[in-house]
């Protein structure tokens, strides 16, 4: 009986969004009388940072500072249509819709500014700080605040835009069954090192090293948060979490959070995160969906590491000490 060390590797591709009957998201953007911008969505911020990212995308497209944008994630009774926040689709789908809506609003904003400055709208640019300037003659400018006032009180224009992003349904080819389930994939690879006690079946995770390819990281610190936390959630799925430990038998499942195993701050393994940015062709400013995929590669990597350590394949999650011991016993019996 001994503590045995093992190392496992796994790589995954993860689709951004889904492809059932088509995958649409809509966004509306309008300016307030003081030149702040409102993004209206039905996509929900579950805590993943959707509001921040949509504010960044809208601000970047219109050409204003991020703090001039307010995002209302309303609800499905009142907001524009969105399929929802799931399948790592929020940034990609809603972000593209926000870009389209913000472009249309920007165009109206520039038209009003052009009337005020008596120039062509195509000769105008934004400075990203809340002003609109004549290209090549920046001394001739107007603030977006004044443009909004003019639009609202003088010119009777609504500085607003509509955006709709749709990934159409992909049907399988009749001959081959081939289809295009997603237009955009994130990728990840994990190497995990474990120690397995072959007497107790206990697994200790020593290190987890991850590489994530997520398109462009629109907010690098928030991406890092998601990936660091997600990496640990993957370990948790692999080793701890279940509501039905003997599924399909429902016995011995936890009945409350007291009996649901989750990692605490003392259970952290040494974790390394490397982010690769290869902007996606159809993502908003190159983004993909890093949400769920970051908790995937740890699971097969840990299963492989356990195999490397003690020579048994556990193909049911979570990889509990009991499952390892039963597999070791079966292996010895053979």
Nearer of residues 31 and 56 to other proteins, judged by Cβ: 56
Nearer of residues 191 and 233 to other proteins, judged by Cβ: 233
Least separation in angstroms between residue 16's CB and other proteins is 20
Q: How many angstroms separate the CA atoms of 222 and 228, rounded? A: 10
Least separation in angstroms between residue 140's CB and other proteins is 39
Nearer of residues 174 and 221 to other proteins, judged by Cβ: 221
Q: How many angstroms separate the CA atoms of 39 and 161, rounded? A: 10
Burial of 265 (0-12, 13-18, 19+ CB in 10 A): exposed
Nearer of residues 11 and 222 to other proteins, judged by Cβ: 222
The single-letter DSSP state of residue 72 is: E
Name the residue among 103, 104, 23, 97 with its Cα closest to residue 283: 97
Nearer of residues 153 and 257 to other proteins, judged by Cβ: 257
Least separation in angstroms between residue 268's CB and other proteins is 6
Residues 6+ apart with CB under 8 A from 258: none
Least separation in angstroms between residue 225's CB and other proteins is 5
CB 237 within 8 A of CB 318: yes
Name the residue among 71, 70, 65, 40 with its Cα closest to residue 143: 65
Residues 6+ apart with CB under 8 A from 251: none
Q: How many angstroms separate the CA atoms of 198 and 244, rounded? A: 24
The CA-based angle 6-326-295, given to 5 degrees, is: 50
Name the residue among 107, 127, 126, 54 with its Cα closest to residue 85: 54
Name the residue among 307, 308, 297, 249 with its Cα closest to residue 273: 297
Nearer of residues 72 and 224 to other proteins, judged by Cβ: 224
Q: How many angstroms separate the CA atoms of 203 and 107, rounded? A: 59
Nearer of residues 83 and 208 to other proteins, judged by Cβ: 208
Least separation in angstroms between residue 66's CB and other proteins is 16
Q: How many angstroms separate the CA atoms of 88 and 94, rounded? A: 11
Least separation in angstroms between residue 214's CB and other proteins is 16
Least separation in angstroms between residue 235's CB and other proteins is 8
Binding positions for other proteins, rule: CB under 8 A: 46-49, 221-222, 224-226, 228-230, 232-233, 236, 256-258, 262-266, 268, 271
Least separation in angstroms between residue 299's CB and other proteins is 14
Nearer of residues 35 and 230 to other proteins, judged by Cβ: 230
């Amino acid at each position: 009986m001994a503590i045995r060390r093992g190392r496992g590797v796994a790589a995954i591709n993860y689709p951004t969004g889904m492809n059932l009957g088509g995958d649409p998201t809509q966004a509306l953007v309008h300016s307030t009388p003081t030149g702040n911008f409102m993004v209206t969505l039905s996509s929900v911020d579950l805590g993943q940072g959707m509001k921040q990212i949509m504010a960044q995308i809208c601000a970047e497209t219109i050409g204003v500072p991020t703090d001039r944008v307010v995002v209302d994630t309303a609800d499905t009774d009142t907001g524009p249509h969105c399929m929802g926040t799931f399948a790592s689709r929020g940034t990609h789908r809603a972000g593209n819709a926000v870009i389209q809506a913000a472009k249309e609003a920007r165009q109206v904003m520039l038209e009003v500014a052009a009337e005020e400055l008596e120039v062509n709208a195509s000769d105008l640019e934004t400075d990203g700080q809340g002003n609109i300037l004549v290209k090549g003659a920046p001394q001739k400018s107007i603030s977006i605040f004044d443009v909004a006032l003019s639009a609202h009180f003088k010119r009777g224009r609504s500085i607003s835009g509509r955006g709709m992003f749709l990934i159409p349904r992909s049907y399988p080819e009749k001959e081959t069954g081939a289809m295009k389930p997603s237009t955009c994939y994130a990728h990840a690879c994990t190497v995990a090192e474990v120690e397995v006690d072959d007497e107790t079946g206990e697994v200790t995770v020593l290190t987890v090293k991850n590489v994530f390819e997520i398109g462009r990281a629109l907010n690098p610190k928030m991406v890092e948060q998601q990936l660091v936390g997600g990496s640990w959630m993957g370990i948790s799925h692999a080793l701890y979490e279940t509501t039905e430990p003997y599924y399909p038998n429902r016995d011995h499942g936890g009945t409350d959070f007291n009996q649901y195993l989750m990692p605490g701050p003392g259970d952290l393994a040494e974790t390394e995160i490397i982010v690769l940015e290869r902007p996606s062709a159809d993502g908003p400013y190159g983004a993909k969906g890093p949400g769920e995929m970051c908790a995937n590669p740890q699971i097969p990597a840990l299963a492989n590491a356990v195999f490397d350590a003690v020579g048994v394949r556990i193909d049911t999650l979570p990889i509990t000490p009991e499952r390892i011991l039963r597999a070791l016993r079966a292996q010895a019996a053979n």
